[in-house]
């Protein structure tokens, strides 16, 4: 499995994580042992650990997703135990996701999180977009994304009361408040907000499950195409076309700007896959609204990371580097909006 690079091994006996995890996995596999516990890099809001569970002579590769100490009170994201319940529901509905083995309990002493299967595949966009190994996958990936998004949007959400409900107008208003909070006026962002408010689509008649972050990095791919959908922490109830628009944001094309779906496909391929699976053809104008909103959303997110870096709240190189990309989204917004403005 092509997970983020491995960072450091947990000193056995210092933190007691292996012993605590062994207690968790024994609820599933009696007399199991934990081997190869390794902290993974990546994941801005959660910690991830790779491990193997050995039981009855068999090795079960797993990943532990665990809330970071600095993110326990984060807003706008699902708690990991709720995310696990959503992943279970998605798997039951035919969406390709890692199997959830166990949700952590308070007595486990490991905080909030869950154990899931560790799958084989690639998540790094440069490899997916450039390696010859994935050439065949790239040819079918846009259609597969459409099919999987259709399955997500048709999931039964009864009982998932922890999911926030959203509307196009509410999303724009919330994003504008976030932008204003940074105290850094950007004329291009202001232009985009004005266009979005002038072209708000009506709220959908029925809210659907929206993944919220369906893009490169959260999609696992192998030589056959899409293997699994990861990271459901931004899921909500809302307009399903938001997922299609977010997938087409230029920042997720990684230089392949003429292929709007992740740098590997055309919008028509995405729409064809969606229609083939659901019988419903996505509305291109509605998807374009969410693509422009998504571009602006990423710009405001980058702006926030830059503010956090400059303010000394998070001085990690990753935050500083990503923060600078707010200017890239201004260029993307102008490319999108200039042809649309009389």
What pLDDT digit, counting tens, does each position of 65-81 carry?
A: 998 654 444 557 899 99
Task: State how far the Cα of 312 lies from the Cα of 250, in Å rounded to an integer.
Answer: 29
E-strand ranges in 204-277 read 208-210, 219-222, 225-229, 236-238
Task: State how far the Cα of 63 lies from the Cα of 114, in Å rounded to an integer.
Answer: 8
DSSP 187: H
What pLDDT digit, counting tens, does each position of 279-333 carry?
A: 999 999 999 999 999 999 999 999 998 888 777 777 777 777 888 888 999 999 9
Give the SS3 label for residue 21: helix
E-strand ranges in the chain read 6-9, 33-40, 46-55, 58-67, 100-103, 113-117, 208-210, 219-222, 225-229, 236-238
Q: Give which of 18, 60, 63 is closest to 43, Cα–Cα.
A: 63
**8 A C-beta contact, residue 243 and residue 210:** yes
Q: Is the pLDDT of residue 164 over 80?
A: yes
What pLDDT digit, counting tens, does each position of 80-106 carry?
A: 999 999 999 999 999 999 999 999 999
Q: What is the mean pLDDT of residues 114-141?
A: 96
> What's the whole-number average pLDDT of the chain?
90
- Please, which contacts does 316-323 make with residues 24 or more away whose CB atoms are closer than 8 Å? 318/44
> Given this model, what pLDDT does residue 1 score?
40
Task: State how far the Cα of 94 lies from the Cα of 84, in Å rounded to an integer.
Answer: 16
> Given this model, what pLDDT does residue 70 score?
41
Task: State how far the Cα of 98 lies from the Cα of 101, in Å rounded to an integer.
Answer: 9
Would the pTM of this model clear 0.85, i.e. be above it?
yes
Q: Is the pLDDT of residue 158 over 90?
A: yes
> Given this model, what pLDDT does residue 74 score?
53
Q: Which residue has the tokens 């690079």?
A: 5
> Given this model, what pLDDT does residue 214 score?
98
> Given this model, what pLDDT does residue 248 score?
98
Question: Among 161-165, 169-173, 308-312, whose mean pLDDT is lowest?
Answer: 308-312
> Given this model, what pLDDT does residue 317 score?
77
Strand partners, 55: 58
> Given this model, what pLDDT does residue 46 score?
75
């Amino acid at each position: 499995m092509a997970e983020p690079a491995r960072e450091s091994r947990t000193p056995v006996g210092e933190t007691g994580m292996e012993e605590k995890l062994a207690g968790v996995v024994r609820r599933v596999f009696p007399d199991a042992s934990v081997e190869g516990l390794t902290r993974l890099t990546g994941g801005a809001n959660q910690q991830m650990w790779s491990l193997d569970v050995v039981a009855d002579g068999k090795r079960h590769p797993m990943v532990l997703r665990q809330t970071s100490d600095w993110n326990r009170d984060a807003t706008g994201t699902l708690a990991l135990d709720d995310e696990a319940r959503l992943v279970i529901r998605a798997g039951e509905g035919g969406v390709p996701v890692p199997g959830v083995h166990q949700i952590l309990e308070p007595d486990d002493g490991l905080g909030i999180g869950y154990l899931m299967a560790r799958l084989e595949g690639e998540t790094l966009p440069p490899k997916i977009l450039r390696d010859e190994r994935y050439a065949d996958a790239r040819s079918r990936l846009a259609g597969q994304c459409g099919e999987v998004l259709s399955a997500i949007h048709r999931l039964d959400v009864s009982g998932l009361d922890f999911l926030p409900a959203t509307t196009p107008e509410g999303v724009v208003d919330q994003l504008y408040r976030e932008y204003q909070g940074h105290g850094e006026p950007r004329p291009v962002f202001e232009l985009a907000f004005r266009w979005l408010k002038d072209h708000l689509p009506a709220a959908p008649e029925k809210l659907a499950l929206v993944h919220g972050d369906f893009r490169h990095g959260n999609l696992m791919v192998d030589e056959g195409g899409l293997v699994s959908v990861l990271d459901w922490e931004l899921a909500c109830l809302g307009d399903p076309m938001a997922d299609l628009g977010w997938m087409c944001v230029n920042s997720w094309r990684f230089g392949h700007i003429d292929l709007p779906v992740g740098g590997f496909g055309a919008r028509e391929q995405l729409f064809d896959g969606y229609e083939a699976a659901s019988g419903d053809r996505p509305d291109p104008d509605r998807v374009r609204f969410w693509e422009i909103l998504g571009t602006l959303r990423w710009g405001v997110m980058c702006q926030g990371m830059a503010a956090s870096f400059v303010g000394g709240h998070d001085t990690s190189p990753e935050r500083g580097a990503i923060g600078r990309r707010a200017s890239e989204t201004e260029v993307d917004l102008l490319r999108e909006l200039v042809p649309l403005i009389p």
